[in-house]
Amino acid sequence: MTTKYDTILVLDFGGQYCHLIGRRIRENSIYSEIVPHDISPEEITALKEKFNVKGLILSGGPSSVCEPNAPKIHPRLLEVDLPILGLCYGHQLLAQAAGGIVEPATSKEYGITQVTVDKPIGVLEGLNYKEQVWMSHGDTVMVSPPDFESLAHTDSSPVAAFRHKTKPIYGIQWHPEVIHTEKGMFILQNFIFKICKAQANWQMEDLIEKMIKEIQTETENGNTIIGLSGGIDSSVATAIAAQALGDKLTAVFVDHGLMREGEPEAISETFQKFPINFIVANVQERFMNKLKGIIDPEKKRKVIGEEFIRVFEEIANKSGAEYLIQGTIYPDRIESGFKKNSDKIKSHHNVAGLPEKIKFKKILEPLRDLYKDEVRKVAIMLDLPKEIVNRQPFPGPGLAVRVIGELTDEKVRIAKKADKIVREEIENNDFAVNLWQYFAVVTDTKATGVKGDARAYGYVVAVRAMESREAMTASFAKIPYNVLEKISTRIANEIPQVTRVVYDVTHKPPATIEWE
Ligand code: XMP
Protein backbone atom coordinates (compact mmCIF):
# COMPACT_ATOMS: atom_id res chain seq x y z
CA MET A 1 0.00 0.00 0.00
CA THR A 2 1.26 3.45 -0.82
CA THR A 3 -0.85 5.50 1.63
CA LYS A 4 -0.70 4.87 5.35
CA TYR A 5 -4.33 4.51 6.39
CA ASP A 6 -5.72 5.19 9.83
CA THR A 7 -6.26 1.64 11.03
CA ILE A 8 -8.08 -0.21 13.77
CA LEU A 9 -6.60 -3.58 14.74
CA VAL A 10 -9.10 -6.27 15.68
CA LEU A 11 -7.62 -8.91 18.01
CA ASP A 12 -9.15 -12.24 17.06
CA PHE A 13 -10.35 -14.41 19.93
CA GLY A 14 -12.11 -16.84 17.59
CA GLY A 15 -15.61 -15.34 17.66
CA GLN A 16 -17.96 -16.00 14.71
CA TYR A 17 -18.42 -12.24 14.47
CA CYS A 18 -14.78 -11.19 14.66
CA HIS A 19 -14.52 -10.33 10.95
CA LEU A 20 -17.88 -8.65 11.12
CA ILE A 21 -16.24 -6.07 13.38
CA GLY A 22 -13.60 -5.55 10.69
CA ARG A 23 -16.18 -5.01 8.00
CA ARG A 24 -18.27 -2.63 10.12
CA ILE A 25 -15.13 -0.52 10.49
CA ARG A 26 -14.48 -0.68 6.75
CA GLU A 27 -18.08 0.48 6.21
CA ASN A 28 -16.95 3.73 7.85
CA SER A 29 -14.05 4.11 5.38
CA ILE A 30 -11.51 3.20 8.03
CA TYR A 31 -9.07 0.41 7.33
CA SER A 32 -8.98 -2.57 9.71
CA GLU A 33 -6.71 -5.57 10.07
CA ILE A 34 -7.52 -8.74 11.96
CA VAL A 35 -4.52 -9.75 14.09
CA PRO A 36 -3.75 -12.67 16.44
CA HIS A 37 -5.25 -12.32 19.92
CA ASP A 38 -1.88 -12.43 21.71
CA ILE A 39 -0.19 -9.73 19.62
CA SER A 40 2.55 -8.02 21.68
CA PRO A 41 3.11 -4.26 22.11
CA GLU A 42 6.33 -4.64 20.05
CA GLU A 43 4.43 -6.32 17.20
CA ILE A 44 1.89 -3.49 17.26
CA THR A 45 4.75 -0.97 17.08
CA ALA A 46 6.15 -2.87 14.08
CA LEU A 47 2.76 -2.67 12.33
CA LYS A 48 2.89 1.11 12.66
CA GLU A 49 5.46 1.02 9.81
CA LYS A 50 2.59 0.03 7.50
CA PHE A 51 -0.50 1.47 9.16
CA ASN A 52 -1.44 4.44 11.32
CA VAL A 53 -2.70 2.25 14.13
CA LYS A 54 -5.33 4.32 15.95
CA GLY A 55 -6.98 1.78 18.26
CA LEU A 56 -7.55 -1.85 19.22
CA ILE A 57 -10.75 -3.86 19.45
CA LEU A 58 -10.74 -7.18 21.31
CA SER A 59 -13.27 -9.48 19.64
CA GLY A 60 -15.68 -11.92 21.21
CA GLY A 61 -14.90 -15.62 21.35
CA PRO A 62 -16.44 -18.96 22.28
CA SER A 63 -14.16 -19.64 25.29
CA SER A 64 -14.71 -18.83 28.94
CA VAL A 65 -12.12 -16.56 30.57
CA CYS A 66 -12.51 -18.80 33.64
CA GLU A 67 -10.99 -21.81 31.78
CA PRO A 68 -7.26 -22.31 32.36
CA ASN A 69 -6.34 -22.55 28.64
CA ALA A 70 -8.61 -19.79 27.39
CA PRO A 71 -6.94 -17.40 24.90
CA LYS A 72 -5.55 -14.35 26.70
CA ILE A 73 -4.27 -10.92 25.73
CA HIS A 74 -0.51 -10.33 25.85
CA PRO A 75 0.40 -9.59 29.50
CA ARG A 76 1.63 -6.10 28.57
CA LEU A 77 -1.14 -5.22 26.12
CA LEU A 78 -2.76 -2.69 28.44
CA GLU A 79 0.52 -0.75 28.49
CA VAL A 80 0.18 0.24 24.81
CA ASP A 81 -0.65 3.87 24.38
CA LEU A 82 -3.77 3.27 22.26
CA PRO A 83 -7.51 3.31 22.84
CA ILE A 84 -8.90 -0.19 23.50
CA LEU A 85 -12.44 -1.52 23.20
CA GLY A 86 -13.26 -5.03 24.43
CA LEU A 87 -16.44 -6.69 23.12
CA CYS A 88 -18.10 -9.61 24.91
CA TYR A 89 -15.23 -12.05 25.59
CA GLY A 90 -12.90 -9.05 25.06
CA HIS A 91 -14.84 -7.14 27.74
CA GLN A 92 -14.47 -10.03 30.18
CA LEU A 93 -10.75 -10.36 29.41
CA LEU A 94 -10.17 -6.66 30.08
CA ALA A 95 -12.04 -6.98 33.36
CA GLN A 96 -9.99 -10.02 34.35
CA ALA A 97 -6.65 -8.53 33.25
CA ALA A 98 -7.27 -5.28 35.17
CA GLY A 99 -8.34 -7.00 38.40
CA GLY A 100 -12.15 -7.07 38.18
CA ILE A 101 -14.33 -10.07 39.06
CA VAL A 102 -15.65 -12.30 36.25
CA GLU A 103 -17.87 -15.26 37.03
CA PRO A 104 -19.50 -17.98 34.95
CA ALA A 105 -23.13 -16.82 34.64
CA THR A 106 -25.89 -18.73 36.37
CA SER A 107 -28.17 -17.97 33.43
CA LYS A 108 -26.72 -17.26 29.99
CA GLU A 109 -27.88 -14.16 28.16
CA TYR A 110 -28.47 -14.99 24.51
CA GLY A 111 -30.21 -12.93 21.86
CA ILE A 112 -31.93 -9.58 22.08
CA THR A 113 -31.66 -7.93 25.53
CA GLN A 114 -32.56 -4.56 27.05
CA VAL A 115 -29.58 -2.76 28.50
CA THR A 116 -29.82 0.14 30.95
CA VAL A 117 -27.27 2.85 30.16
CA ASP A 118 -26.40 4.43 33.51
CA LYS A 119 -23.74 6.79 32.16
CA PRO A 120 -24.06 7.73 28.46
CA ILE A 121 -20.44 8.76 28.03
CA GLY A 122 -17.44 7.70 25.93
CA VAL A 123 -18.43 4.91 23.53
CA LEU A 124 -21.98 5.08 24.90
CA GLU A 125 -22.37 8.83 24.33
CA GLY A 126 -25.72 9.67 22.73
CA LEU A 127 -27.45 6.43 23.80
CA ASN A 128 -30.84 6.37 25.50
CA TYR A 129 -31.42 5.14 29.06
CA LYS A 130 -32.79 1.86 27.66
CA GLU A 131 -31.34 0.30 24.50
CA GLN A 132 -31.90 -2.91 22.57
CA VAL A 133 -28.68 -4.90 22.21
CA TRP A 134 -27.63 -8.37 21.11
CA MET A 135 -25.91 -10.55 23.70
CA SER A 136 -24.40 -14.00 23.54
CA HIS A 137 -22.34 -14.78 26.61
CA GLY A 138 -21.81 -17.21 29.43
CA ASP A 139 -19.36 -15.37 31.72
CA THR A 140 -20.35 -12.12 33.40
CA VAL A 141 -18.36 -9.20 34.78
CA MET A 142 -19.64 -8.92 38.35
CA VAL A 143 -17.37 -6.14 39.66
CA SER A 144 -15.44 -3.50 37.68
CA PRO A 145 -11.66 -3.49 38.11
CA PRO A 146 -10.12 -0.75 40.33
CA ASP A 147 -9.69 2.47 38.28
CA PHE A 148 -12.68 1.47 36.10
CA GLU A 149 -16.29 2.59 36.40
CA SER A 150 -19.43 0.77 35.30
CA LEU A 151 -21.47 2.49 32.54
CA ALA A 152 -24.39 0.10 31.96
CA HIS A 153 -26.15 -2.99 33.31
CA THR A 154 -28.78 -5.58 32.42
CA ASP A 155 -30.88 -7.83 34.67
CA SER A 156 -28.15 -10.49 34.60
CA SER A 157 -25.00 -8.37 34.00
CA PRO A 158 -24.20 -5.86 36.75
CA VAL A 159 -21.31 -4.46 34.66
CA ALA A 160 -22.50 -4.69 31.06
CA ALA A 161 -20.17 -1.81 30.05
CA PHE A 162 -17.28 -0.04 31.73
CA ARG A 163 -14.45 2.39 31.14
CA HIS A 164 -11.11 3.18 32.66
CA LYS A 165 -11.39 6.40 34.65
CA THR A 166 -8.40 8.11 33.02
CA LYS A 167 -7.35 6.04 29.97
CA PRO A 168 -9.35 5.43 26.76
CA ILE A 169 -10.12 1.79 27.61
CA TYR A 170 -13.72 0.53 27.27
CA GLY A 171 -15.48 -2.79 27.52
CA ILE A 172 -19.00 -3.75 26.51
CA GLN A 173 -20.68 -7.06 27.08
CA TRP A 174 -22.90 -6.98 24.00
CA HIS A 175 -22.12 -7.15 20.26
CA PRO A 176 -22.37 -3.76 18.52
CA GLU A 177 -21.24 -5.40 15.23
CA VAL A 178 -24.41 -7.52 15.00
CA ILE A 179 -27.32 -5.74 13.30
CA HIS A 180 -29.76 -6.65 16.09
CA THR A 181 -27.97 -4.15 18.35
CA GLU A 182 -29.97 -1.11 17.30
CA LYS A 183 -27.26 1.52 17.92
CA GLY A 184 -24.37 -0.86 17.22
CA MET A 185 -22.83 1.18 14.42
CA PHE A 186 -23.26 4.36 16.46
CA ILE A 187 -21.25 2.81 19.33
CA LEU A 188 -18.48 1.69 16.97
CA GLN A 189 -18.42 5.15 15.39
CA ASN A 190 -18.07 6.72 18.85
CA PHE A 191 -15.05 4.52 19.37
CA ILE A 192 -13.32 4.94 16.02
CA PHE A 193 -14.01 8.64 15.45
CA LYS A 194 -14.39 10.19 18.92
CA ILE A 195 -12.11 8.02 21.04
CA CYS A 196 -9.51 6.92 18.45
CA LYS A 197 -9.87 10.11 16.38
CA ALA A 198 -9.38 8.12 13.17
CA GLN A 199 -9.77 9.85 9.79
CA ALA A 200 -11.98 8.15 7.20
CA ASN A 201 -9.41 7.93 4.40
CA TRP A 202 -9.80 4.36 3.12
CA GLN A 203 -11.95 3.20 0.19
CA MET A 204 -12.92 -0.12 -1.39
CA GLU A 205 -10.92 0.85 -4.50
CA ASP A 206 -7.80 0.69 -2.36
CA LEU A 207 -8.64 -2.90 -1.57
CA ILE A 208 -8.87 -3.79 -5.27
CA GLU A 209 -5.43 -2.23 -5.81
CA LYS A 210 -4.08 -4.20 -2.83
CA MET A 211 -5.51 -7.48 -4.16
CA ILE A 212 -4.04 -6.93 -7.64
CA LYS A 213 -0.58 -6.26 -6.18
CA GLU A 214 -0.86 -9.26 -3.88
CA ILE A 215 -1.72 -11.59 -6.80
CA GLN A 216 1.20 -10.25 -8.85
CA THR A 217 3.66 -10.69 -5.98
CA GLU A 218 2.43 -14.08 -4.81
CA THR A 219 2.38 -15.62 -8.29
CA GLU A 220 5.53 -13.81 -9.44
CA ASN A 221 3.45 -12.99 -12.52
CA GLY A 222 3.51 -16.69 -13.43
CA ASN A 223 0.97 -18.91 -15.20
CA THR A 224 -2.07 -19.24 -12.98
CA ILE A 225 -5.38 -21.05 -12.98
CA ILE A 226 -8.57 -19.77 -11.45
CA GLY A 227 -11.64 -21.86 -10.64
CA LEU A 228 -14.60 -20.02 -12.12
CA SER A 229 -18.10 -21.16 -11.17
CA GLY A 230 -19.86 -18.11 -12.59
CA GLY A 231 -20.98 -17.12 -9.10
CA ILE A 232 -20.22 -13.62 -7.94
CA ASP A 233 -17.21 -14.58 -5.79
CA SER A 234 -15.24 -16.45 -8.42
CA SER A 235 -16.31 -13.92 -11.09
CA VAL A 236 -14.94 -11.02 -9.03
CA ALA A 237 -11.77 -12.97 -8.25
CA THR A 238 -11.41 -13.66 -11.99
CA ALA A 239 -11.90 -10.01 -12.93
CA ILE A 240 -9.26 -8.92 -10.40
CA ALA A 241 -6.85 -11.70 -11.36
CA ALA A 242 -7.33 -10.80 -15.04
CA GLN A 243 -6.21 -7.24 -14.25
CA ALA A 244 -3.23 -8.60 -12.32
CA LEU A 245 -2.07 -11.30 -14.73
CA GLY A 246 -3.63 -10.74 -18.17
CA ASP A 247 -3.09 -13.70 -20.45
CA LYS A 248 -1.06 -15.58 -17.82
CA LEU A 249 -4.47 -16.42 -16.36
CA THR A 250 -6.62 -19.39 -17.37
CA ALA A 251 -10.15 -19.52 -15.96
CA VAL A 252 -11.58 -23.02 -15.67
CA PHE A 253 -15.30 -23.67 -15.40
CA VAL A 254 -15.84 -27.18 -14.05
CA ASP A 255 -19.14 -28.49 -15.39
CA HIS A 256 -19.73 -31.31 -12.90
CA GLY A 257 -23.33 -31.81 -13.99
CA LEU A 258 -24.62 -30.48 -10.68
CA MET A 259 -25.34 -26.93 -11.81
CA ARG A 260 -28.82 -25.46 -12.16
CA GLU A 261 -30.70 -25.93 -15.41
CA GLY A 262 -29.37 -23.68 -18.19
CA GLU A 263 -26.49 -22.46 -16.03
CA PRO A 264 -23.45 -23.97 -17.80
CA GLU A 265 -24.65 -22.44 -21.08
CA ALA A 266 -25.27 -19.02 -19.49
CA ILE A 267 -21.87 -18.99 -17.79
CA SER A 268 -20.03 -20.00 -20.95
CA GLU A 269 -21.83 -17.29 -22.91
CA THR A 270 -20.91 -14.60 -20.37
CA PHE A 271 -17.26 -15.52 -19.90
CA GLN A 272 -16.39 -16.29 -23.48
CA LYS A 273 -16.74 -12.53 -23.98
CA PHE A 274 -14.06 -11.82 -21.33
CA PRO A 275 -10.49 -11.19 -22.55
CA ILE A 276 -9.12 -14.25 -20.68
CA ASN A 277 -8.30 -17.87 -21.48
CA PHE A 278 -11.57 -19.61 -20.67
CA ILE A 279 -11.85 -23.41 -20.51
CA VAL A 280 -14.90 -25.56 -19.82
CA ALA A 281 -14.08 -28.95 -18.27
CA ASN A 282 -16.88 -31.41 -19.10
CA VAL A 283 -16.58 -33.84 -16.21
CA GLN A 284 -20.18 -34.80 -15.45
CA GLU A 285 -19.67 -38.56 -15.59
CA ARG A 286 -16.48 -38.48 -13.62
CA PHE A 287 -18.12 -36.60 -10.72
CA MET A 288 -21.19 -38.86 -10.65
CA ASN A 289 -18.94 -41.95 -10.57
CA LYS A 290 -16.90 -40.56 -7.67
CA LEU A 291 -20.06 -39.71 -5.75
CA LYS A 292 -21.70 -43.12 -6.18
CA GLY A 293 -22.80 -44.62 -2.86
CA ILE A 294 -21.83 -41.57 -0.79
CA ILE A 295 -24.47 -40.47 1.70
CA ASP A 296 -22.54 -38.51 4.33
CA PRO A 297 -22.70 -34.77 3.48
CA GLU A 298 -19.19 -34.01 4.71
CA LYS A 299 -17.80 -36.89 2.63
CA LYS A 300 -19.66 -35.58 -0.42
CA ARG A 301 -18.08 -32.15 0.08
CA LYS A 302 -14.59 -33.68 0.48
CA VAL A 303 -14.93 -35.85 -2.64
CA ILE A 304 -16.11 -32.88 -4.68
CA GLY A 305 -13.38 -30.61 -3.28
CA GLU A 306 -10.74 -33.18 -4.19
CA GLU A 307 -12.12 -33.76 -7.69
CA PHE A 308 -12.16 -30.03 -8.39
CA ILE A 309 -8.47 -29.83 -7.50
CA ARG A 310 -7.63 -32.88 -9.63
CA VAL A 311 -9.34 -31.29 -12.63
CA PHE A 312 -7.43 -28.03 -12.05
CA GLU A 313 -4.15 -29.96 -11.70
CA GLU A 314 -4.70 -31.77 -14.99
CA ILE A 315 -5.36 -28.52 -16.80
CA ALA A 316 -2.40 -26.89 -15.04
CA ASN A 317 -0.13 -29.72 -16.20
CA LYS A 318 -0.97 -28.83 -19.76
CA SER A 319 -0.66 -25.05 -19.39
CA GLY A 320 2.32 -25.07 -17.00
CA ALA A 321 0.38 -23.17 -14.31
CA GLU A 322 1.85 -23.38 -10.82
CA TYR A 323 -0.65 -21.26 -8.94
CA LEU A 324 -4.36 -21.61 -8.25
CA ILE A 325 -6.71 -18.79 -7.33
CA GLN A 326 -10.06 -19.42 -5.65
CA GLY A 327 -12.94 -17.08 -4.88
CA THR A 328 -13.19 -18.12 -1.22
CA ILE A 329 -14.81 -15.42 0.92
CA TYR A 330 -14.77 -14.93 4.65
CA PRO A 331 -17.93 -16.84 5.71
CA ASP A 332 -16.73 -19.91 3.72
CA ARG A 333 -13.61 -19.96 5.84
CA ILE A 334 -15.17 -19.38 9.22
CA GLU A 335 -17.82 -22.04 8.66
CA SER A 336 -15.14 -24.49 7.59
CA GLY A 337 -13.56 -24.00 11.03
CA PHE A 338 -10.24 -22.59 9.79
CA LYS A 339 -9.49 -20.87 13.06
CA LYS A 340 -8.07 -22.50 16.15
CA ASN A 341 -10.79 -21.26 18.47
CA SER A 342 -13.90 -21.61 16.29
CA ASP A 343 -16.16 -24.58 15.61
CA LYS A 344 -16.43 -26.34 12.23
CA ILE A 345 -19.93 -26.08 10.79
CA LYS A 346 -19.43 -27.55 7.33
CA SER A 347 -16.58 -28.01 4.85
CA HIS A 348 -17.04 -25.44 2.15
CA HIS A 349 -15.61 -27.29 -0.78
CA ASN A 350 -12.87 -24.84 -1.62
CA VAL A 351 -11.57 -24.62 1.93
CA ALA A 352 -11.73 -27.62 4.21
CA GLY A 353 -12.81 -29.81 1.28
CA LEU A 354 -9.29 -29.55 -0.19
CA PRO A 355 -7.18 -32.69 -0.38
CA GLU A 356 -3.99 -32.75 1.70
CA LYS A 357 -1.63 -33.19 -1.26
CA ILE A 358 -1.95 -30.51 -3.90
CA LYS A 359 0.40 -30.07 -6.83
CA PHE A 360 0.13 -26.28 -6.89
CA LYS A 361 2.93 -24.17 -5.43
CA LYS A 362 0.37 -21.94 -3.78
CA ILE A 363 -3.39 -21.39 -3.51
CA LEU A 364 -4.41 -17.74 -3.39
CA GLU A 365 -7.68 -16.45 -1.97
CA PRO A 366 -7.77 -12.70 -2.69
CA LEU A 367 -11.33 -12.26 -1.34
CA ARG A 368 -10.66 -14.19 1.86
CA ASP A 369 -11.58 -11.34 4.24
CA LEU A 370 -14.69 -10.08 2.46
CA TYR A 371 -18.39 -10.69 3.00
CA LYS A 372 -20.76 -11.34 0.11
CA ASP A 373 -22.26 -7.85 0.02
CA GLU A 374 -18.76 -6.34 -0.03
CA VAL A 375 -17.91 -8.64 -2.94
CA ARG A 376 -21.04 -7.33 -4.65
CA LYS A 377 -19.82 -3.76 -4.17
CA VAL A 378 -16.45 -4.69 -5.69
CA ALA A 379 -18.30 -6.35 -8.61
CA ILE A 380 -20.17 -3.11 -9.28
CA MET A 381 -16.93 -1.11 -9.14
CA LEU A 382 -15.37 -3.56 -11.61
CA ASP A 383 -18.34 -3.06 -13.94
CA LEU A 384 -19.23 -6.74 -14.05
CA PRO A 385 -22.45 -7.60 -15.92
CA LYS A 386 -25.72 -7.25 -13.98
CA GLU A 387 -26.55 -10.95 -14.30
CA ILE A 388 -23.39 -11.75 -12.32
CA VAL A 389 -23.76 -8.99 -9.72
CA ASN A 390 -27.34 -10.03 -8.95
CA ARG A 391 -26.92 -13.78 -9.23
CA GLN A 392 -27.97 -15.58 -6.06
CA PRO A 393 -25.16 -17.42 -4.27
CA PHE A 394 -24.74 -21.03 -5.38
CA PRO A 395 -22.58 -23.50 -3.43
CA GLY A 396 -19.45 -24.90 -5.10
CA PRO A 397 -20.65 -28.51 -4.65
CA GLY A 398 -23.82 -27.44 -6.47
CA LEU A 399 -26.94 -29.54 -6.34
CA ALA A 400 -24.99 -32.32 -4.60
CA VAL A 401 -25.76 -30.60 -1.28
CA ARG A 402 -29.40 -30.08 -2.29
CA VAL A 403 -30.03 -33.76 -3.00
CA ILE A 404 -30.08 -35.53 0.32
CA GLY A 405 -28.59 -39.00 0.50
CA GLU A 406 -27.00 -40.76 -2.46
CA LEU A 407 -26.94 -38.85 -5.73
CA THR A 408 -28.71 -40.56 -8.59
CA ASP A 409 -29.36 -39.25 -12.09
CA GLU A 410 -33.08 -39.26 -11.30
CA LYS A 411 -32.75 -37.21 -8.11
CA VAL A 412 -30.43 -34.69 -9.80
CA ARG A 413 -32.95 -34.32 -12.64
CA ILE A 414 -35.74 -33.71 -10.10
CA ALA A 415 -33.57 -31.15 -8.27
CA LYS A 416 -32.94 -29.25 -11.51
CA LYS A 417 -36.60 -29.18 -12.51
CA ALA A 418 -37.82 -28.19 -9.03
CA ASP A 419 -35.17 -25.50 -8.72
CA LYS A 420 -36.19 -24.03 -12.08
CA ILE A 421 -39.84 -23.86 -10.96
CA VAL A 422 -38.89 -22.18 -7.65
CA ARG A 423 -36.78 -19.62 -9.49
CA GLU A 424 -39.42 -18.88 -12.12
CA GLU A 425 -42.24 -18.45 -9.62
CA ILE A 426 -40.27 -16.34 -7.15
CA GLU A 427 -38.73 -14.16 -9.84
CA ASN A 428 -42.25 -13.27 -11.03
CA ASN A 429 -42.53 -11.12 -7.89
CA ASP A 430 -40.96 -7.85 -6.79
CA PHE A 431 -39.93 -9.31 -3.43
CA ALA A 432 -37.43 -11.60 -5.22
CA VAL A 433 -34.76 -8.85 -5.17
CA ASN A 434 -34.85 -8.81 -1.37
CA LEU A 435 -34.15 -12.51 -1.05
CA TRP A 436 -30.69 -13.87 -0.43
CA GLN A 437 -31.39 -17.31 -1.92
CA TYR A 438 -34.31 -19.49 -2.99
CA PHE A 439 -34.09 -23.09 -4.10
CA ALA A 440 -35.45 -26.62 -3.87
CA VAL A 441 -34.06 -29.59 -1.98
CA VAL A 442 -34.79 -33.19 -2.94
CA THR A 443 -35.06 -34.97 0.40
CA ASP A 444 -34.48 -38.68 0.90
CA THR A 445 -37.95 -39.07 2.39
CA LYS A 446 -40.78 -40.52 0.38
CA ALA A 447 -44.46 -39.93 0.97
CA THR A 448 -47.77 -41.27 -0.25
CA GLY A 449 -49.89 -39.22 -2.60
CA VAL A 450 -52.73 -39.54 -5.03
CA LYS A 451 -52.20 -38.60 -8.62
CA GLY A 452 -55.14 -38.96 -10.98
CA ASP A 453 -57.12 -41.70 -9.32
CA ALA A 454 -54.13 -43.78 -8.40
CA ARG A 455 -51.96 -44.11 -5.36
CA ALA A 456 -48.50 -42.57 -5.80
CA TYR A 457 -45.41 -42.91 -3.70
CA GLY A 458 -42.75 -40.32 -4.42
CA TYR A 459 -40.19 -37.83 -3.21
CA VAL A 460 -40.71 -35.01 -0.73
CA VAL A 461 -39.26 -31.77 -2.11
CA ALA A 462 -38.47 -28.95 0.30
CA VAL A 463 -38.55 -25.32 -0.81
CA ARG A 464 -36.24 -22.86 0.93
CA ALA A 465 -36.19 -19.06 0.57
CA MET A 466 -33.94 -16.96 2.80
CA GLU A 467 -33.31 -13.35 3.70
CA SER A 468 -29.83 -12.44 4.84
CA ARG A 469 -27.18 -9.75 4.78
CA GLU A 470 -24.04 -11.79 4.91
CA ALA A 471 -25.14 -15.45 5.33
CA MET A 472 -23.75 -15.67 8.87
CA THR A 473 -27.33 -15.43 10.09
CA ALA A 474 -30.46 -15.73 7.93
CA SER A 475 -34.24 -15.79 8.27
CA PHE A 476 -36.67 -17.86 6.25
CA ALA A 477 -38.66 -15.55 3.96
CA LYS A 478 -42.34 -15.09 4.72
CA ILE A 479 -43.31 -15.35 1.08
CA PRO A 480 -47.03 -15.12 0.28
CA TYR A 481 -49.09 -18.31 0.41
CA ASN A 482 -50.32 -17.86 -3.14
CA VAL A 483 -46.71 -17.97 -4.41
CA LEU A 484 -46.00 -21.06 -2.30
CA GLU A 485 -49.20 -22.62 -3.61
CA LYS A 486 -48.16 -22.02 -7.21
CA ILE A 487 -44.71 -23.49 -6.58
CA SER A 488 -46.17 -26.52 -4.83
CA THR A 489 -48.79 -27.18 -7.51
CA ARG A 490 -46.29 -26.84 -10.32
CA ILE A 491 -43.65 -29.08 -8.71
CA ALA A 492 -46.17 -31.82 -7.89
CA ASN A 493 -47.81 -31.62 -11.33
CA GLU A 494 -44.76 -31.16 -13.53
CA ILE A 495 -42.47 -33.65 -11.80
CA PRO A 496 -44.19 -37.05 -11.70
CA GLN A 497 -41.78 -38.50 -9.11
CA VAL A 498 -42.74 -35.87 -6.48
CA THR A 499 -45.79 -36.38 -4.27
CA ARG A 500 -45.26 -33.72 -1.63
CA VAL A 501 -43.82 -30.23 -1.29
CA VAL A 502 -42.90 -28.66 2.07
CA TYR A 503 -41.64 -25.17 2.95
CA ASP A 504 -38.66 -24.89 5.28
CA VAL A 505 -39.42 -22.45 8.11
CA THR A 506 -36.12 -22.65 10.00
CA HIS A 507 -33.85 -19.66 10.56
CA LYS A 508 -30.04 -19.78 10.58
CA PRO A 509 -29.13 -20.48 13.34
CA PRO A 510 -30.14 -23.08 14.33
CA ALA A 511 -30.27 -24.43 10.74
CA THR A 512 -27.76 -23.62 8.01
CA ILE A 513 -29.00 -22.21 4.70
CA GLU A 514 -28.16 -25.31 2.66
CA TRP A 515 -29.51 -28.65 3.86
CA GLU A 516 -26.13 -30.39 3.76
P1 XMP B 1 -24.75 -22.40 4.89
O2 XMP B 1 -25.46 -23.59 4.34
O3 XMP B 1 -23.39 -22.74 5.44
O4 XMP B 1 -24.47 -21.46 3.65
O5 XMP B 1 -25.57 -21.60 5.85
C6 XMP B 1 -24.01 -20.14 3.72
C7 XMP B 1 -23.83 -19.63 2.31
O8 XMP B 1 -22.73 -20.29 1.68
C9 XMP B 1 -23.16 -21.02 0.53
N10 XMP B 1 -22.41 -22.28 0.56
C11 XMP B 1 -21.29 -22.53 -0.16
N12 XMP B 1 -20.61 -21.77 -1.04
N13 XMP B 1 -19.03 -23.52 -1.35
C14 XMP B 1 -19.49 -22.28 -1.64
O15 XMP B 1 -18.87 -21.60 -2.46
C16 XMP B 1 -19.65 -24.34 -0.48
O17 XMP B 1 -19.22 -25.46 -0.23
C18 XMP B 1 -20.85 -23.80 0.15
N19 XMP B 1 -21.72 -24.33 1.06
C20 XMP B 1 -22.67 -23.36 1.29
C21 XMP B 1 -24.65 -21.20 0.70
O22 XMP B 1 -25.31 -21.37 -0.55
C23 XMP B 1 -25.03 -19.92 1.43
O24 XMP B 1 -25.18 -18.83 0.56
Q: Give CA–CA dist 62/340, Å, rounded.
A: 11
Give distance in angstroms: CA of 513 to centre of ligand 1.
7
175 is catalytic: yes
**Is 348 close to ligand 1, i.e. is its CB under 6 Å away?**
yes
Q: Which atom of ligand 1 is nearest to the CA of 347?
A: 17
Q: Give CA–CA dist 110/15, Å, rounded.
A: 15
| Per-residue pLDDT, 339 | 54
**Is 393 close to ligand 1, i.e. is its CB under 6 Å away?**
yes
Where are the domains positioned within the chain?
6-195, 204-389, 402-503
For ligand 1, pick from 508, 514, 515, 516 the residue to mutate: most ligand atoms within 8 Å of CB.
514
**Is 332 close to ligand 1, i.e. is its CB under 6 Å away?**
yes
| Per-residue pLDDT, 350 | 66
Q: Which residues is 31 bridged to in the sheet?
A: 7
**Is 74 close to ligand 1, i.e. is its CB under 6 Å away?**
no
Judging by beta carbons within 10 Å of its beta carbon (0-12, 13-18, 19+), is residue 75 exposed, middle or buried? exposed
Catalytic residue among 19, 137, 175, 348: 175
User: Backbone dihedral region of 88: left (phi > 0), alpha (psi from -120 to 50 degrees) or beta?
Assistant: left
Residue 125 contacts residue 74 (beta carbons within 8 Å): no
344 has pLDDT over 80:
no
* Tens digit of each residue's pLDDT (9 = 90 or more) over 235-263: 999 999 999 999 999 999 999 999 999 99
Place 83 in a pLDDT band, splitting at 50, 70 and 90. very high
- Taking all residues of the chain, what is their mean pLDDT, rounded to a whole number? 92
Q: Would you say the CATH fold of 402-503 matches that of 6-195?
A: no
**Is 346 close to ligand 1, i.e. is its CB under 6 Å away?**
yes
Place 1 in a pLDDT band, splitting at 50, 70 and 90. very low
Secondary structure letter of residue 10 according to DSSP: E
Residue 239 to residues 161, 202, 281: CA-CA distances in angstroms?
45, 22, 20
Q: Following DSSP, what letter does each residue of 219-275 receive, concatenated?
A: HTT--EEEE--SSHHHHHHHHHHHHHHGGGEEEEEEE-S-SPTTHHHHHHHHHHTSS
Strands 148-153 and 161-164: antiparallel
| Per-residue pLDDT, 106 | 67
**Is 513 close to ligand 1, i.e. is its CB under 6 Å away?**
yes
pTM of the predicted model, to two decimals?
0.76
Q: Give CA–CA dist 326/218, Å, rounded.
A: 14
Average pLDDT on 470-495 reads 95
Percent of the chain scoring above 70 in pLDDT: 95
Give distance in angstroms: CA of 367 to centre of ligand 1.
15
Q: Give CA–CA dist 13/26, Å, rounded.
A: 19
When computed from its CA atoms, the radius of gyration of the chain, rounded to whole angstroms, is 25
Q: Which atom of ligand 1 is nearest to the CA of 328?
A: 15
CATH topology of domain 402-503: GMP Synthetase; Chain A, domain 3 (3.30.300)
What homologous superfamily does CATH list for 6-195? Class I glutamine amidotransferase (GATase) domain (3.40.50.880)
Nearest to 384, CA basis, from 235, 234, 231, 243: 235
Domain formed by 204-389, architecture? 3-Layer(aba) Sandwich (3.40)
- SS3 helix, strand, coil % of the chain, rounded to 5? 35, 25, 40
177 is catalytic: yes
**Is 234 close to ligand 1, i.e. is its CB under 6 Å away?**
no
For ligand 1, pick from 236, 513, 515 the residue to mutate: most ligand atoms within 8 Å of CB.
513
**Is 297 close to ligand 1, i.e. is its CB under 6 Å away?**
no
Strands 277-282 and 249-255: parallel
88 is catalytic: yes
Q: Following DSSP, what letter does each residue of 315-347 receive, concatenated?
A: HHHHHT--EEE----HHHHHHTT-STTS-----
348 has pLDDT over 80:
no
Secondary structure letter of residue 192 according to DSSP: I
Q: Give CA–CA dist 61/10, Å, rounded.
A: 12
For ligand 1, pick from 348, 367, 467, 476 the residue to mutate: most ligand atoms within 8 Å of CB.
348
Place 270 in a pLDDT band, splitting at 50, 70 and 90. confident
Give distance in angstroms: CA of 167 to centre of ligand 1.
43
